[in-house]
Amino acid sequence: MTLPTPSHRVEVLLQKFTSSIGLPFRDLLPESIILEALKTEKIKYRRRLFDPFVTLWAFLSQVLDADKTCHNAVSRVITWLASEEVKIPSPDSSAYCQARKRLPEKLLQRLFHQVAQGLEKQVTSEHLWCGRHVKVIDGSTVSMPDTLWNQKAYPQPSSQAEGCGFPLAKIGALFSLATGAAVALVINIKNTHDIKLARQLYQFLNPGDLLLGDCAFCSYADMFFIQKRSCDAVFRLSPTRKHEIERGRRKPLKSYEAIEVWHQPKTQPKGLLLEEYTQLPKTLTIRVIKYYIPSPGFRTKYVILATTLLDSKVYPTTEIMRLYGQRWQVELDLRHLKTTLDMDILRGKTPEIVRKEIYAHLLAYNLLRTIMWEAGTTHNVNPLRLSFQGTRQLFDNFIPQLASASTQKRAWLYQTLLKTIVHTLIPERPGRCEPRVRKRRPKSYPLMKKPRQVLRQECLAANAFR
């Protein structure tokens, strides 16, 4: 009996992966796009079992699964090969782990950006805000294993004793308000200011985009940088600029709204290069909107917005107020990434693997957003009201059936999946107020304030005297 060569096994796996996980990406991430990205990055590879194609799809399945171990990913490969009566590889995960190390970080980054752009192109005029594509910006943190390499690249907070904390990375992300998909992301150390990350994200804005963010991103320089890219911004006014409302030269339009003239900072702000500071104009014209929140239970009683949208006829005040109310969507998007997809605590023991994990999570996240978008637009439902967790659970359960089905049955299964996802509709709950408290009590163990090795020695010494 002639045993199948690795190339035959690769073909079997590619068919399995692309018919299940890759099905929603059939237009956004076909094999030709991956091949083109490999050529663009000048990546050469040998034809082995875990080549870049199989490794990429296995990585995506690993991220989407509740069990994210490499052993689980390899066991899935073994199961699919066994179902086709093909020689199975070793159950040891070292070959797959080495393949992940060989998988270039730039490849994952490029594919993530391409998929995000492809999904954004599917947005029609009915999903736009006043005819504009809206991007929402925010920052967060992710932790990783406490290894020497991770500590060196992304050191733990200085408030924690050595050996008692975990390395933390700061991420800044852009999300599409229409689709909920992640458009771009940058990674830096923990104590990096959000505005520094934001300035690295402006390059991913397209002319005509509208950027929505909280007060952390509201500054004179950033308003200018965004306008320079032919974009506009709606930010909550920074508390340090509250006096400008009273002191600035204004032309009243109506109550709680004014056109103000902001003046260039007298001193060079921190984090701004001298050449960038010298490019700033002497003045900027900004529209300021102040409105009150009558809902009981809200900590915030009023909101002050600063925007470069000066035309109140094209962009009515009520529409801008309603738009800023949707800024909270980015908090939910980050929660889906960190909690639903378990990106909050990464597993890579080196910074390179950590970054690859992040981009793989973003690619998988956009995969689910693609399914939600197709389900919503097919059945005339707002895709953002569909349950992200429900979509993930359904997709995970449909994967084995999609992988083993014939071409005709696969199409029927996929349409059934879309129809089922529509039933995971989340009810609209405007003005809902939930206190920020925890009902479940934590365990009574004390916090770790000494390195584990020291605590072990103390424990052994204490037991020796018993």
In tens, the pLDDT along 131-184 reads 999 999 999 999 999 999 999 999 999 888 888 889 999 999 999 999 999 999
- Predicted confidence at residue 463, as pLDDT, reads 78
- Residue that the structure tokens 């700033």 belong to: 280
pTM of the model: 0.89
- Same-domain pairing of 123 and 147: yes
Range scoring the smallest mean pLDDT among 238-247, 272-281, 429-438: 238-247
Domain membership flag for residue 435: no
* Domain shared by 266 and 192, yes or no: yes
Binning the chain into helix, strand and coil, the percentages to the nearest 5 are 50, 15, 35
Query: 44 lies in a domain?
Result: yes
Q: Residue 198 in 3-state DSSP?
A: helix
For 181, 212, 272, 291, 382, the CA distances from 428, given in Å and listed in that order, are: 20, 22, 42, 23, 11
Q: Return the pLDDT at 466.
A: 62
Residues 146 and 170 in one domain: yes
Instruction: Say if residues 141 and 168 touch (Cβ distance below 8 Å).
Output: yes
Indicate if 193 and 174 belong to the same structural domain.
Answer: yes
pLDDT in tens, 308-340: 999 999 999 999 999 998 998 999 999 999 999
Give the pLDDT band (50/70/90) at residue 295.
low
Residues 189 and 128 in one domain: yes
Beta-carbon contacts of residue 61 (< 8 Å; ≥ 6 apart): 17, 21, 73, 76, 399
Question: Is residue 330 in a domain?
Answer: yes
Kindly indicate the confidence band of residue 433, based on its pLDDT and cuts at 50, 70 and 90.
low
Q: In terms of domains, do 210 and 182 share one?
A: yes
Q: Which pLDDT value is given to residue 179?
A: 94
In the prediction, which pLDDT does 458 show? Answer: 86
Are 40 and 10 members of one domain? yes
Confidence of residue 290 (pLDDT cuts 50, 70, 90): confident
In a domain, 75, yes or no: yes
Q: What does the pLDDT read at residue 251?
A: 47
Query: Is the model's pLDDT at 31 over the cut of 80?
Result: no
Verify that 274 and 176 share a domain, yes or no.
yes
* pLDDT confidence of residue 162: 86
pLDDT of residue 298: 59
**Residues 365, 226, 201, 192: is their CA dihedral positive or negative?**
negative
Residues 58-101: pLDDT tens digits? 898 899 888 889 999 889 888 888 877 778 888 898 989 998 99
Q: Is residue 255 pLDDT above 60, yes or no? A: no
Residue 13 lies in a domain: yes
pLDDT in tens, 180-232: 999 999 999 999 999 999 999 999 999 999 999 998 899 999 999 999 999 99
Question: Does any domain span residue 376?
Answer: no
Label residue 400 by pLDDT band (50, 70, 90).
confident
66 and 140 in one domain?
Answer: no
Could you give the CA distance from residue 459 to residue 451 in angstroms, rounded to a whole number?
12
What is the residue range of 88's domain?
1-103
pLDDT category at 248 given cuts 50, 70, 90 is very low
Convert the pLDDT of each residue in 39-49 to its tens digit.
Answer: 887 777 777 78
**Between these two residues, 163 and 241, which has the higher pLDDT value?**
163
Which of the listed residues 103, 120, 150 is the one where a domain comes to its end?
103
* 306 part of a folded domain: yes
Mean pLDDT score across all residues of the chain: 86
Query: End of a domain among 84, 103, 122?
Result: 103
- Asked if residue 358 lies in contact with residue 343, where contact means CB atoms within 8 angstroms, the answer is yes
Looking up residue 274, the CATH number of its domain turns out to be 3.90.350.10
Q: Which helix (H) or strand (E) holds 81?
A: helix 70-83
pLDDT at 465: 65
Where is pLDDT greater, at 16 or 219?
219
Among 59, 82, 103, which residue terminates a domain?
A: 103
Task: Compute the half-sphere exposure of residue 304: CA atoms within 13 Å on the CB side of its CA.
Answer: 17
Count the domains in the chain.
3
> What is the per-residue pLDDT for 250?
46
**Residue 5: pLDDT over 70:** no
The answer to whether residue 459 is domain-embedded is no
Residue 2 has a pLDDT of 45
Q: Are residues 312 and 397 in the same domain?
A: no
199 and 72 co-located in one domain: no
Give the dihedral of Cα atoms 170, 198, 36, 341; nearest 10 deg: 40
Q: CA angle, 192 as apex, 270 and 235 as ends, to 5°? A: 75
Residue 272 sits in the same domain as residue 336:
yes
